Structure 1
Amino acid sequence: MSSAQAARQALADQLKELRGEVGLTAKALAAEAGWDRTKVSHIEHARRPPSAEDIRTWCRVCGADDQAEDLVASLRAAEGMWVEWRRMERGGLKRAQESVLPLFERTRMFRSYASWLLPGLLQTEGYTRAVLQAVRRRRGLVDDVEAAVAVRMERTRILRRPGRTFAFLVEESVLRAGVGGAEVMREQLAHLADMACLPSMSLGIVPMRPDREIRPVEDFWIFDGEQVSVELVSGYLTVTNPREIAMYGQAFGALAEEAVYGARARRLINDALDVLADEE
C-alpha cells in the first residue's frame, strides 16, 4: 500500500471507528445524513474519498463535532500526497517552484536520482528555461517561465550553504538527451563537470550498457530520509511511509553501486560533449 493509500485508509478507519463508538449502523448513519445507503460503506472501505463537508456531517451525526476539523486536516494531508501536475501548476510555474522551497530549505541531506532530466539543482539557466518552456507549452499554462526560472536559480544557492550534503545519481542517457539545443547542452555539461567538484556533493553517472542488473526507475528525491518526492508523468507523489522511504533508499544504494564517479564520471560527461561537437 502506498503512503497516499495508507493515509486514505487510516482516515476511513477513523470514521468507521467513530460510527462504531456511538453504536450506529452504516444504514442509520446514511439515513441521518441524508445520503445514499452505499455512501458510508464506500467511504469506510476507502473506495470513495469523503469531502470536508462529508466529514463534518459524519461527526455531527456521531455527536463528535469536536473531532471534525482534525479529521478534515487528515483529509487534506492525504490529498496532498498525490498532486496532479495540472493542480500543482494551475497558479503558474513560478508558484509551483516556490511551493517546494521550504522543503529544500530545511533539508540537510539530499539524495536524487535522475533518469530523464538533470536535477533542478544542477541545471543551468538555459537548461531550466528550455525545460519549463516545454512544460508550459505541453500543459497550456500561463507564460511565467522567466519568473519560474529565477526562482529555480535562486534555489541552487543551497548547494554552497554549509551543513548540507548532496548525492546525485544521473543516467548517462540524460547527458545525451537534447534539451534546448546544442549550445544549451554544451553549457549544461560543462557546468555539471564543474559542480561535481564541490566538496559537499557526490555525482555518480550510471553508464549505459547492455548488461544492467538494475533498470532505470522514475526520478526521485530523498529528503533527510523523512520524505521522498517522485515525479511521474501524471503528477507529483509525496512518500512519507517509512517502509516505502526505505525501499527508495535501497534503490538509490543499488543504483549508486552501478554508477561511476570522479574521473570516470567526467569522462562520460566529456564523451557527451564530444558527441555534440561531432554533430556540428
Structure 2
Amino acid sequence: MTDKTFSLGGDLTIDRLGFGAMRLAMGTFGGPARAPESGIAVLRRAVELGVNHIDTAGFYGRGAVRANELIRTALTPYPDGLVIATKVGPLLGPSGMPSEQATPDQLRGLVEADLRALGLDRLDLVYLRVGGMTGPGGESIAERFAVLAELRAEGLIRHLGVSNVDAAQLAEARAIAPVTAVQNQHADDMGLLAECEEAGIAYVPYFPLGGGRNPLDTDRLGKVAARLGATVAQVQLALLLATSPSVLAIPGTGTLGHLEENLAANALSLSDEDLSDLRS
C-alpha cells in the first residue's frame, strides 16, 4: 500500500481521494435537481481521472434524479477495480430530507433497492448511517447492524461500515461483524481515528470541504494555498489526507470544473511548514 492508496477490508485497493455522489442530483440540500446529463458527465470524467471509490446512497436525489441511477447509467458495465460504497438507515421524511430512520426490518429492503438501482449483485461497502444531522451517540445500533451482518453472510454485501457513530457504537458493531470503514463528519476525533488506524479501518470524513455547515478556515488555508499556487479546497483535501494513512476523502460535486480541481489535490504535497501553519 502506498500513501495514496488504502486497502479496504484487506482485499480492495482504492485511491484515498475518491468521489462523493451527494451533489450529483442537486447542488444544495434545498435546491432544484441538476440535469441528469451533468451528473453522467461528471461520473465518467471522474473515472477517466482515476477515481476508483464512489460514495453514494439511495436517499441522494431530488425528484426523479437519483444518484444511484446516474451511477448505473454512466458507468455500467463497471470498470474493474471500481468500489461503490452506499449507506442505509435514513428515510426521506415529508420534506424530502433524510430525517427519519429505518427500523431493523426495513434495512433489507433498502439494501435490495440499492442493488437494483446500481445494477449490482453485491454491494462493495454498506454503511449503517445512524441518527440525523446531529452528532453521534445516544442510541444502540446493535440490532440494525446485525441485520446488515446477516446480509453480508448471505453474500449481498462484501464489507460493512458505520456512519455518524461514537466509540461505543463502533464497539457495538465490531462485536457483531468486522467493520471496514467509519464515515463521520469530522476528522478531528483523534481517539476514534487512532482506533481505526490501529485496526486497519478506513476513516472517511463526510463534508470534507465544509458542506456549508462547517465553513472552512479560508484565512489559514488561503495562506498555504497562495504559497503552493493551489486552491483552498485543494489544500483542505491534502490536509485531510495528511491527517492519517487511514483517512479517505470523498469530495462531491456536480460540475466538471470542481471535479478536476478536487482531484488535482492528489498531486499536492504539504511540507512540515505547511502542516504547522495549517494546524497552528
TM-score range, shorter chain: under 0.3
Larger radius of gyration: 1
More helix by share: 1
Q: TM-score, normalised on structure 2?
A: 0.27
Q: TM-score, normalised on structure 1?
A: 0.27
